[in-house]
């Protein structure tokens, strides 16, 4: 039993958890100020009940002795409406609704369509007009609201990672790593943490076939007891750039040509030819298992960046995160990928959804590589996102298992509006001097403000589930108060919110002059090719052959020979045989020896259309 803002006792009705006793009636307590009311998203907000209910409720309850359920019926309002008895989460548990949806009333139970304001609608097919042939009447409120909402039901797409799907899952710790980190989600073997994940293509766009050759994203938001932690993974252990200033240019080169609106593979290879630090990722991208994965379930992922872990003794370690698929890592060859693209453009999303529906839950092992802090300052590429740490020097350490086991119920709410950022960290997990990471800290939240609004973190899918946020932020579009108590500022004689010094991370070293540095270590010779050469050497022969086939097929569509020549020089620096195989396969393609039936059809029609006169076309 709790009191409403008017001081009238409210009884929680019809929402007891199974096997819980009926709540006992408590003595009425007079209060000087209105009691805080639990409202949407489980937040505490102050506010009065609707005036009609406020004046009628005490009279009905006192004179007739009505229970709350009867009271709600008398007032023609939803069960418990106007009461501070329920949180949206409790309602969700009872009715199976998305959190944030209030309890249904009689109108809802009859499935009667309503306006956004809740007003029931009596007719949906025809617009209100002046006579059967007359013009529309502006007072057709249902029509106005419907068209207005239709105009605004889409939000700007992500500039990268636009094409994707998502699901929920559970992370379980399988190995104690407390000597490296004090993060709450890792502090006990067997401990479980819920998460939401979003799988995506990086450069492909909404509507593109999901089997298009493209690096893939695997972003995870862990709902921990110390806040949310976002791990933004991709399916290559390296990026194509290592400095945030180069990021927009790389995206422009890998996206559509703004002059034509078409994909332009020439500009993509031209960018890589002039930024050879990206050769490592491109080599991986043109393998089958990475560039055209068989399923999101058969895809490894990597944090790529160097992050930091801090333990309870305030010792720092540099870390790289790995997610290893327990289904194995497999991919389509280029011909299979094209066939599947034509039959089912949504193949990867559909596969994930159906797998979860059949309770064939995919799993990944979370592994880490750890480097002592002082060693990291001396290592030549500790913070270079285009290079890997060798496993022989920094072996993989098991952390836990991720199981993806629940589908979303509303794509827009849970997949389109979920927002990830590398700046979303928790105590015990931190950042590093990685230049690309530092730039991404700024851009990710800003793009979500542009897409969704300044209070996007208050959406249920983005807000913490293991802790209630408490701060003094005020206002903004679609603002929902999270702390309406006084004082609403820090440093006050009246008390209020306060920091705790135990959550301060130890400083990391920063040395050197402020300047523009092209390579990670000033004055050092940069090795662009040895890691790419190592990658080539460890590939099985079949994978080597398919890799060269895929690159040659891509080069076949490049319109500038000088771009191809420059790329062949880079491949030759890695391995002369590699470059020679690509060159041979490209020559055979140009001679028509290595073309699939679909490629032949495409080329033949393209040539015919180029030579067709206007009269023939008509």
Look at residue 239 in the predicted model and tell me its pLDDT: 97
Q: What average pLDDT does range 183-211 have in this prediction? A: 97
Q: What pTM was computed for the model?
A: 0.81
- Among the listed ranges 223-227, 378-382, 565-569, 592-596, which one has the minimum average pLDDT value? 592-596
Q: Please, are residues 534 and 574 in contact by the beta-carbon 8 Å criterion?
A: no
Look at residue 38 in the predicted model and tell me its pLDDT: 36
pLDDT tens-digit map of 72-82: 343 333 333 33
Q: What average pLDDT does range 279-288 have in this prediction? A: 98
Q: What is the mean pLDDT of the chain?
A: 84
- Among the listed ranges 17-31, 366-380, 506-520, 522-536, which one has the minimum average pLDDT value? 17-31
Apex 115 CA angle, 99 and 91, nearest 5 = 20
Q: What average pLDDT does range 243-251 have in this prediction? A: 95
Q: How confident is the model at residue 593 (pLDDT cuts 50, 70, 90)?
A: confident
210 Cβ partners below 8 Å, 6+ apart? 163, 201, 204, 341, 345, 346, 347, 348, 349
47 Cβ partners below 8 Å, 6+ apart? 5, 34, 37, 39
- pLDDT higher than threshold 80 for residue 481: no
- pLDDT higher than threshold 90 for residue 236: yes
- pLDDT higher than threshold 50 for residue 15: no
What radius of gyration, in Å, describes the C-alpha atoms of the chain? 29
Burial of 588 (C-beta count, 10 Å sphere; 0-12/13-18/19+) = middle
Residue 63 φ then ψ, to 5°:
-75, -35
Look at residue 613 in the predicted model and tell me its pLDDT: 61
- Most trustworthy range by pLDDT among 52-56, 119-123, 174-178, 515-519: 174-178
CA distances from 535 to 328, 388, 525 (A): 19, 11, 21
- pLDDT higher than threshold 70 for residue 383: yes
Q: What average pLDDT does range 15-25 have in this prediction? A: 37
Look at residue 535 in the predicted model and tell me its pLDDT: 98
Look at residue 238 in the predicted model and tell me its pLDDT: 98
Distance from C-alpha of 137 to C-alpha of 129, rounded to nearest angstrom: 5
* Cβ neighbours around 302 below 10 Å, total: 21
Q: How confident is the model at residue 614 (pLDDT cuts 50, 70, 90)?
A: low
Q: How confident is the model at residue 396 (pLDDT cuts 50, 70, 90)?
A: very high
- Domain regions of the chain by residue span: 164-237+287-468, 539-611
More confident residue, 504 or 602: 504
Q: Omega of the bond prior to 485 within 30 degrees of 0, cis?
A: no
Q: What average pLDDT does range 368-378 have in this prediction? A: 97
Look at residue 605 in the predicted model and tell me its pLDDT: 80
The single-letter DSSP state of residue 205 is -
- Token pair 């893939």 is at which residue? 216
- pLDDT higher than threshold 50 for residue 40: no
Q: How confident is the model at residue 475 (pLDDT cuts 50, 70, 90)?
A: confident
| Percent of the chain at pLDDT exceeding 70 | 81
- pLDDT higher than threshold 80 for residue 26: no
More confident residue, 27 or 300: 300
Look at residue 604 in the predicted model and tell me its pLDDT: 81
- pLDDT higher than threshold 80 for residue 59: no
Look at residue 508 in the predicted model and tell me its pLDDT: 86
Return the CATH superfamily for domain 164-237+287-468: Catalase core domain (2.40.180.10)
Strand partners for 3: 9
CA distances from 281 to 48, 207, 211, 234, 529 (A): 58, 25, 18, 11, 12
């Amino acid at each position: 039993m709790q009191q409403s803002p008017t001081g009238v006792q409210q009884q929680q009705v019809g929402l007891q958890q199974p096997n819980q006793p009926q709540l006992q009636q408590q003595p009425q307590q007079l209060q000087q100020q209105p009691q805080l009311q639990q409202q949407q998203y489980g937040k505490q907000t102050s506010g009065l009940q609707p005036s009609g209910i406020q004046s009628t409720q005490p009279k009905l309850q006192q004179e007739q002795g009505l229970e709350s359920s009867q009271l709600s019926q008398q007032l023609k309002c939803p069960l418990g409406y106007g009461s501070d008895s329920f949180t949206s989460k409790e309602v969700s548990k009872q009715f199976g609704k998305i959190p944030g949806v209030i309890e249904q009333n009689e109108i809802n139970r009859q499935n009667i369509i309503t306006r956004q304001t809740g007003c029931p609608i009596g007719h949906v097919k025809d617009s209100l007009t002046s006579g059967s042939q007359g013009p529309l009447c502006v007072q057709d409120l249902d029509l106005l609201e419907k068209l207005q909402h239709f105009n605004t039901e889409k939000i700007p797409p992500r500039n990268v990672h636009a094409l994707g799907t998502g699901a929920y899952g559970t992370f379980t710790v399988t190995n104690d790593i407390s000597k490296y980190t004090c993060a709450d989600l890792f502090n006990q073997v067997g401990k479980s943490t819920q998460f939401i994940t979003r799988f995506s293509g990086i450069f492909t766009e909404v509507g593109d076939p999901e089997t298009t050759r493209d690096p893939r994203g695997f972003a995870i938001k862990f709902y921990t007891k110390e806040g949310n932690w976002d791990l933004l993974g991709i399916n290559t252990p390296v990026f194509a750039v290592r400095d945030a200033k180069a990021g927009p240019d790389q995206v422009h080169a890998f996206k559509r040509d703004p002059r034509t609106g078409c994909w332009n593979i020439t500009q993509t290879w031209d960018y890589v030819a002039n930024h050879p630090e990206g050769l490592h990722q491109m080599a991986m991208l043109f393998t089958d298992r990475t560039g055209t994965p068989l399923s999101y379930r058969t895809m490894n992922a990597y944090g790529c960046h160097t992050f930091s872990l801090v333990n309870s003794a305030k010792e720092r370690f540099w870390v790289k995160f790995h997610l290893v698929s327990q289904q194995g890592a497999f991919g389509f060859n280029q011909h299979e990928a094209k066939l599947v693209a034509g039959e089912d453009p949504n193949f990867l999303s559909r596969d994930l959804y159906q797998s979860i529906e059949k309770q064939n839950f995919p799993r990944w092992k979370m592994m880490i590589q750890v480097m002592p802090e002082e060693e990291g300052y001396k290592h030549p590429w500790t913070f270079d996102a285009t290079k890997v740490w060798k496993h022989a020097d920094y072996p993989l350490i098991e952390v836990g298992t991720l199981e993806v086991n629940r589908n979303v119920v509303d794509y827009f709410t849970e997949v389109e509006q979920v927002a990830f950022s590398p700046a979303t960290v928790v105590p015990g997990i931190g950042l590093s001097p990685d230049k690309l990471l530092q730039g991404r800290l700024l851009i990710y939240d800003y793009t979500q403000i542009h897409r969704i609004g300044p209070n996007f973190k208050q959406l249920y899918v983005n807000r913490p589930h293991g802790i209630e946020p408490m701060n003094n932020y005020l206002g903004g579009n679609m603002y929902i108060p999270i702390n309406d108590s006084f004082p609403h500022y820090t440093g006050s004689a009246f008390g209020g919110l306060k920091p705790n010094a135990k959550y301060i991370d130890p400083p990391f070293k920063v040395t050197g002059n402020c300047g523009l540095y092209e390579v990670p270590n000033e004055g050092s010779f940069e090795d662009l090719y040895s890691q790419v050469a190592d990658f080539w050497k460890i590939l099985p022969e079949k994978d080597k052959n398919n890799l060269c086939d895929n690159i040659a097929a891509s080069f076949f569509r490049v319109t500038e020979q000088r771009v191809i020549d420059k790329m062949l020089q880079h491949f030759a620096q890695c391995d002369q045989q590699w470059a020679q195989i690509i060159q041979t396969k490209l020559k055979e393609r140009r001679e028509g020896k290595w073309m699939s039936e679909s490629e032949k059809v495409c080329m033949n029609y393209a040539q015919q259309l180029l030579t067709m006169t206007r009269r023939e076309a008509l």
